[in-house]
Amino acid sequence: MPDDYASSLFPPILKKFSATYPKVEIQVVGLPSVALAPMLKNGDVDLVVATPIKGLSGKFLCHEPMVWAAAPGDAEIWKERPLPIAVFLPGSLERASRIARRLMRARVLTMAEAGLAITPLARCAVPAHFTLLGQAQGLPEIGTLEVVLAGAQRSIGTFAVRLSGRADYR
């Protein structure tokens, strides 16, 4: 599961799964979807909660709103030109590339926390102390992030049903 939304979406799921299946060993691998796809294909992992990409599709879980976020502070970083944007990987947010010439691809939250960039994040991944930005600051809407559960059909089973109920994993 990509780290940007694992910490907020996954803990309740892990708690329920562990209580239901106490003898099952759980290992959570936090990597981008592009890195998880080959791991699933090679059998290195059984289940993947990720964003659908080429070669990785699965059972729809939810649409997670994407938002612009920045660390709080006096500086209005979103007014800078070129607009400094920190993204996870090249191509992880193509829309960001269209509006900014200066992209930072290392440690997204660190860059934003330092006040050096704004960042597009899944709403569930925005740290509580961050400021949400949007059209009022001249930024375009980003849209939503589709989240899917991928794996062998036998692995998905009732686990997918539990995950797909928003109230169950929020």
Check which CATH number belongs to the domain holding 153 and give it.
Answer: 3.40.190.10
Is residue 58 located within the same domain as residue 118?
no
pLDDT single digits (tens) 114-165: 888 898 888 888 888 899 999 999 999 988 888 888 886 655 555 555 555 5
Say what the pTM is. Answer: 0.68
The domain containing residue 93 runs over which residues? 66-143
The answer to whether the CB of 169 falls within 8 A of the CB of 17 is no
Which pLDDT score is estimated for 135?
A: 92
The rounded Cα 33 to chain-centroid distance in angstroms is: 9
Angstrom distance (rounded) from CA 115 to CA 13: 33
Is residue 102 located within the same domain as residue 138?
yes
